[in-house]
Structure 1
């Protein structure tokens, strides 16, 4: 049974009882188990970000009534979509922290044009751990190319990919 099987009234009554942030809680539980077993290398925590392409149908732009003979204005994006426009097209940026075992510890989704904070030279030299983590996440097609219209849905997609990386190690 899915959302489409319920009427709007049924969904309104059911929605407050649904769990919030379920995938983040599962990720935290998996990480807590790994930490209790001593499998997290806290001495080698790296932070970096990576850009993911956004599929054209994931733009979720507000639609305007088309007026004959008038040019269409550029697509507008809501602030909470996490989609940025750059010279390369629509992008989303995944900021993440990873441990020495190339497993994600924390994930943040922002629009693609947002910049990174400058890093200290010694931390920048250890960036390869987080780059390998990004490559492992991008092995999942839904992470490499964002198909989700909303940022919170894409956050869940990345979190599920992170859970799979933790379960594999």
Structure 2
């Protein structure tokens, strides 16, 4: 019997064809649906892995499956497929918005080793070398801000350790792309990586869609580099001009150029990204970071975004 929060038959039908049949060791995975339900329970409650209810199976299996899928990109592939299904039905509003949110890290999120793990969970003792090498490369990918705590997307402030999620959301309050950094990273430095990560595949023939119809953002993203980047790609944008930028332009007179266009009605729709942030923060494992490793927390946020897409 399904409990509240478990995958419905319709949601499972979307995910089942994309999941691996074998674990690469002449055996079969434990029931994927049962494991994913356990991961969703942990996402919703933020409980410790070892305190998962017994009906989901051994907590070690669920934890290792989540870590492996976070490292080898499985969660990201599932999210892209859910987006592709919605896009094929014409259900994506491509007037997107960009923003970020700071996440308080629990004290248990600190203390990760300074180097990548020697082997991923489930990849030892004859595991698939192909999956292991790809997953290890994904987990060890360079992160802006250096190694140590910054390399694990942890930053220090007067409030303690924080992580920042930079994201884009469609007009229906669902995440299209996300980047995880240390909490002190400026929003504007991650604008291009967030836009570049938008990739919605086609169910049939054709290239993935990468360009939105328009982009909205607040004054944190108001600088010449971002505006030039959007103009080069032919993307309409609505970003308010900062007062100091406007003053500097006025001071230059005719040499200051024309003011950037601004659509007040379009800018009012920027609340969709705030509502998308609220949706993923309904998952307690997202609202507070408990994961030590950056790639595992990125997988946690991606899995939460996937659930939102499945249930939208």
Class of the TM-score when normalised by the shorter of the 2 chains: 0.7 to 0.9
Distance 2:150 2:162 in 1: 14
Greater strand fraction, Structure 1 or Structure 2: 1
Q: Is it true that 1:95 corresponds to 2:166 in the alignment?
A: yes
Distance 2:303 2:112 in 1: 26
Distance 1:52 1:128 in 2: 19
Give aligned pairs, total: 144
What residue in structure 2 maps to residue 139 of structure 1? 282
Name stretches of at least 5 consecutive residues in structure 2 with no aligned partner. 1-29, 31-57, 62-70, 115-146, 189-220, 223-238, 241-261
Q: Aligned runs of 1:17-166 on 2, under 5 Å?
A: 20-42=72-94, 44-60=95-111, 77-117=148-188, 118-119=221-222, 120-121=239-240, 122=262, 125-166=268-309
Instruction: Give the CA deviation at 1:78.
Output: 3.8
Alignment RMSD (CA, Å): 2.6
Q: 1:39 to 1:83 in 2, by over 3 A?
A: same
If asked which structure has higher relative contact order (CA below 8 Å, sep 6+), I would say 1
Instruction: Give the CA deviation at 1:61.
Output: 5.4
CA contact (8 A) 1:137 1:143 kept: yes
Q: 1:168 to 1:61 in 2, by over 3 A?
A: closer
Runs of 4+ in 1 over 3 A off after TM superposition: 76-79, 122-126
Q: Under a length normalisation based on structure 1, what TM-score does the superposition of the two structures give? A: 0.77
Q: 1:86 to 1:125 in 2, by over 3 A?
A: farther
Q: Under a length normalisation based on structure 2, what TM-score does the superposition of the two structures give? A: 0.43
What residue in structure 2 maps to residue 13 of structure 1? none
Q: 1:124 to 1:148 in 2, by over 3 A?
A: farther
